[in-house]
Amino acid sequence: MTLPGWAPSGTVYGTLLNFRGEWAQWQPRMNDKPYGAPPNAPVLYVKTANTFAPHGATVMVPESEAVEVAASLGLLIGADGAPSHALLANDMSLAHDSYYRPPMKFRNRDGFLGLPLEPTPLSALGGLDGLAGLEIELRIHGVHKQTTALRDLVRDIPTLLRDVSEFMTLREGDVLLVGSEALPDGTRPRVVAGDAVEISAPGLKPALQRFEHEVPA
């Protein structure tokens, strides 16, 4: 069955290490090889089209590997090259120990980007300034697991957009995820088959996905 809902028409870019809690946890290792220093530009990755899971979709997860979920805010780029809408997303990944450019196989499994029913015009949210104090809630089966506050961004939204634009052009239909925060132990909330995860925030459409075990081939 095909579920109704919205999906990006362009490329989705995620941002790593853009929340202060996660940055502080990883900073002691940033001078280790092979990097030798903290990143001085935004660290981005791509969520490919196979990852898009519409609102209400069931995401298949492996029995033998832990799956982490993460609340994020996405900025949908409009015709003028600037953000026109905002959206909530569940940026999923297999659990891993690579803070810097983790392999695509962790982040790009089928269904590993939960989406809302539709994005919300920035004009209804007070523009980019209206997002600065946003708090995003992550719940599993209705139980609160994490609050992500955009005031804790390393690069706030205008700064992130400016710094990304220094080395690449965002085009109409692209989505830039501003990042996600880690839990105090450095992990993110984990799900198992049978769970349902909802990402919500005031003024924005929620993203709700359910999880079941993969069927062996």
Pairing of strands 58-61, 135-140: unpaired
Q: Please report which helix (H) or strand (E) contains residue 121, including its range.
A: strand 120-121
CB neighbour list of residue 62: distance below 8 Å, 6 or more residues apart: 94, 213, 214
Domains and CATH numbers, the chain: 12-213 (3.90.850.10)
Query: Which tokens sit at 13?
Result: 């870019």
In angstroms, how far is the first alpha carbon of the chain from the final one?
20
- pLDDT tens across 61-94, in order? 998 889 999 999 999 999 999 999 999 999 999 9
Query: Which tokens sit at 96?
Result: 């891993």
* The pLDDT of residue 172: 97
Number of H helices and E strands in the chain, helices first, is: 3, 16
pLDDT category of residue 4 using cuts at 50, 70 and 90: low
The percent of residues above 90 in pLDDT, for the chain, comes to 80
- pLDDT tens across 20-60, in order? 999 998 888 888 877 788 889 999 999 999 999 999 999 99
Cβ proximity of 66 and 94 under 8 Å? yes
* The pLDDT of residue 93: 94
DSSP for 154-215, written as a single string:
SS-HHHHHHHHHTT----TT-EEE---PPPTTS---EE-TT-EEEEE-TTS--EEEEEEEPP
